[in-house]
Amino acid sequence: MLTRTFIAAALAAAGLAAVPSTAYAATAAYTPERVCGKGFHRVKDGHRAMKTKRGAVFGHVYLMYSKRSGKNCVAAIKTAFTGARTTTGAYLEVKGGGRSEDEQRYRYYAETGHIQGAWKCVRYAGWTRDPDNRVTAFGGRKSWGNCKG
């Protein structure tokens, strides 16, 4: 007990907190499962980092699927500039089916609508920009995949 008290006092004296930052906590509250809704799960080969041309990661894009409804969803979740309204978008296309895109100035994430896609190939993408709208981070899969339900 004395050791914990000593460590806590030392951290406080150094100006360090033993709790995550507000930006991290806000981003951590948004999971792709929460964004897309009940029953949606991450699919194999359905995750990409949203990277700038120089390799900086501004977030992650997830392809989600609901076995029960047969629908797909894409969530583009920011990890950089969270809380700031920056251009953020998500894209989903089902081969021979529907297409959904969402792009606005969001604080935490963008999400496509739910599109029927059981046993159909899909492709997806997500992107976000810095607050000055100069640098874009992109991630996704341009080729068709996840064709087996």
pLDDT of residue 4: 38
pLDDT at 14: 40
**pTM for the predicted model, two decimal places:** 0.81
pLDDT of residue 28: 59
In the predicted model, residues of the chain with pLDDT beneath 70 are 1-28, 149
pLDDT digits (tens, 9 = 90+) for 20-52: 334 444 445 799 999 999 999 999 999 999 999
Position 148 scores a pLDDT of 79
DSSP 32-59: HHHHH-TT-EEEEEEEEEEE-TT--EEE
Q: Are 56 and 137 spatial neighbours (Cβ–Cβ below 8 Å)? A: yes
pLDDT of residue 6: 38
pLDDT at position 149, please?
A: 63
